[in-house]
Amino acid sequence: MPVQHQIASIAAWKDEQHVLDNRNQYRQKFDAVIDILAPVITLTRPEASFYLWAKTPTDDTLFSKGILADQNLTLLPGSYLSREVDGINPGSGYVRMALVAEVDECVEAATRIRRYIESL
């Protein structure tokens, strides 16, 4: 391996601050969103992910279509992410939320989700 690549590699592997910063940002997002949604929907905080899975009060596809129509918010139905085996789809009845936007946008989305659930 060329020396220049080795030097760049050493510098890249020594920088862990961006990892710590990202973990902190995701912790803030999960804390904020879970605080808003936990009173109205069942959630599980992941150990390592930027996805949040929530149990839907209705069919996951209908829930996702309804929240898109009512709140202009896109959620992915869990049943789209797994396949049915022996008559069971493990993603059915859940939606997946990607908390990749900035904290304030995640809070806005969580507020819309809560508003929609409370309107059902």
Domain ranges of the chain: 3-119
Residue 76's SS3 state is strand
Please, which residues have CB within 8 angstroms of residue 114's CB and are 6 or more apart in sequence? 36, 37, 39, 40, 41
Q: Measure CA 47 to chain center.
A: 12
**Radius of gyration from C-alpha coordinates of the chain:** 19
The CATH class, in words, for 3-119 is alpha beta
Q: What pLDDT tens digit does each residue of the chain (120 aa) get?
A: 788 888 887 777 777 888 888 999 999 999 999 999 999 999 989 988 899 999 999 999 999 999 999 999 999 999 999 998 999 999 999 999 999 999 999 999 999 999 999 999
Q: What gap in Å lies between CA 25 and CA 78, rounded to an integer?
A: 25
pTM: 0.84
Q: What gap in Å lies between CA 74 and CA 95, rounded to an integer?
A: 10
